[in-house]
Amino acid sequence: MFASSYNKRKYKKVCIIEANSRIGEKIKISGGGKCNITNELLSSENYLGDRNFLEELFRTFSKDDLLKFLNKNNVFPTLDPRLTKGTYFCKSSNDVISMFSLLTKTVKKYLNTNVLDIDFSGHFKIHTQNQTIEAKKVILASGGLSYSKLNASSIAYDIAEKFGHSIIKCEPALVGLTVQKEQFWFKNLSGLSVMVDVFVKESAKENKKVEGSLLFTHKGCSGPVILTSSLYWKKGKITIDFLPKKNINNFLKGNKKISSALPLPKRFIQEFLVSINLEDKAVSSLNREEKEKLKILKHYEFSPAGNFGFSKAEVTRGGINTDEINHRTFESLKQKNLYFIGECLDITGELGGFNFQFAFSSAYSCAKNL
């Protein structure tokens, strides 16, 4: 959270108020410690939220602008699309934190300081557990509700509501999905990964296709493809193609057993066969009905029970309604000199560096216009 502080004589002093003992704790753990900072394939299509707003924003500060800014500050992310297409990872998340530490060296920081409330009477009064800080302008960059162990709080939403903003329901996203008892066989595969396509309802009319690796876990399923699918999944069914880009009929010939004939891990096929009550036998001996049962692998449909919750979610879907924010300056349309940027807004990206890109783009656009 940032506040440009109120001071009658020297009018442009900036301070940072942060609940943690150091800045950038979320950056530290991101991307497995290597901060997946942006994505080569950046587009508004990778986000939930107002896509026109995003297109305008990325024209102001694109992924190339972000990479240029990082390079200028001695951070050199490289393309590493192993898990998710187009991803740029840093050598270490610490590089990004060091960059911010250097860039904010002369900025007054209130660390271990929790903002509890903000009032306005001609200027802002920011109440913390220790003191009240006065400011002309306040920028809330306090993130969402996910990962509470890193001091996440609802402060941005509370303050936005207090000043008359509407909040789109906040829910965990980029998170694993739990399963109902028909899919408990997933749990027996805990630790196993397979490449799949997932189809999830993005809107009443359209299905979103997400490609990537699915990880079975003791709670259900996770992995990059499920994390991104969780952004779009609300309630109801998702469909998994366990044999993406493959014609299953090509594997249902010959004398091999099913578990050897299908190009999937043996352990997976064996659990799957138990779940559909089919014996592992030679594919040549399968009757039509049994072949049809196997073809479910191309469109395995199920309703997840829920998700792993805010404590495990990488981001928060929903947030402050962007219709009530100036799209160029990020100033509140309800309260002058109050700004909201980053994850607290109702813009949420897929897995792959899209959330940091939005945080940087919104911060740049806001700062440029301050």
Ligand X SMILES: Cc1cc2nc3c(=O)[nH]c(=O)nc-3n(C[C@H](O)[C@H](O)[C@H](O)COP(=O)(O)OP(=O)(O)OC[C@H]3O[C@@H](n4cnc5c(N)ncnc54)[C@H](O)[C@@H]3O)c2cc1C
Give residues in contact with ligand X (CB under 6 A). 1, 17-20, 25-26, 29-31, 35-36, 114-115, 141-143, 146-147, 151-153, 155, 314-315, 342-343, 353-356, 359
Q: What is the 8-class DSSP label of residue 133?
A: E
50 in Cβ contact with 322 (< 8 Å): yes
State in angstroms the smallest separation of the CB of 140 from ligand X.
9
354-368 helix and 51-60 helix, angle to the nearest 10 degrees: 70
The whole-angstrom separation of Cα 206 and Cα 188 is 32
In the bound state with ligand X, the residue whose beta carbon lies nearer, of 304 and 349, is: 349
State in angstroms the smallest separation of the CB of 218 from ligand X.
19
CA trace torsion 141, 142, 146, 150 (10° rounding): 120
Do the strands 115-120 and 124-128 form a parallel or antiparallel pair, or are they unpaired?
antiparallel
State in angstroms the smallest separation of the CB of 7 from ligand X.
21
The whole-angstrom separation of Cα 319 and Cα 168 is 5
Q: Which helix (H) or strand (E) holds 207?
A: strand 207-216
CA trace torsion 260, 265, 266, 272 (10° rounding): -110
Return the exposure string of 42-63: e unless at least 16 CB atoms fall within 10 Å of the residue's CB, then b. Answer: bebebbbbbeebbeebbeebeb
Q: What is the 8-class DSSP label of residue 329?
A: T
In the bound state with ligand X, the residue whose beta carbon lies nearer, of 101 and 303, is: 101
State in angstroms the smallest separation of the CB of 18 from ligand X.
5
In the bound state with ligand X, the residue whose beta carbon lies nearer, of 185 and 310, is: 310
State in angstroms the smallest separation of the CB of 141 from ligand X.
5
Nearest to 364 by CA among 105, 106, 57, 94: 57
State in angstroms the smallest separation of the CB of 42 from ligand X.
11
State in angstroms the smallest separation of the CB of 328 from ligand X.
18
State in angstroms the smallest separation of the CB of 93 from ligand X.
8
Report the sign of the C-alpha dihedral through residues 266, 268, 270, 273, in that order: negative
In the bound state with ligand X, the residue whose beta carbon lies nearer, of 147 and 186, is: 147
State in angstroms the smallest separation of the CB of 165 from ligand X.
16
Bridge-partner residues for 79, per DSSP? 88
Q: Give the contacts of 325 (CB within 8 A, at least 6 positions apart).
A: 331, 332, 333, 340, 345
- Closest residue to ligand X: CB criterion: 342
In the bound state with ligand X, the residue whose beta carbon lies nearer, of 38 and 183, is: 38
How many CB atoms within 10 Å of residue 266?
A: 13
The whole-angstrom separation of Cα 200 and Cα 365 is 32
State in angstroms the smallest separation of the CB of 145 from ligand X.
10
In the bound state with ligand X, the residue whose beta carbon lies nearer, of 177 and 258, is: 177
In the bound state with ligand X, the residue whose beta carbon lies nearer, of 261 and 320, is: 320
**Sequence-ordered alpha helix ranges (H) in 61-105:** 63-72, 93-103
In the bound state with ligand X, the residue whose beta carbon lies nearer, of 118 and 179, is: 118
In the bound state with ligand X, the residue whose beta carbon lies nearer, of 111 and 274, is: 111
In the bound state with ligand X, the residue whose beta carbon lies nearer, of 33 and 254, is: 33
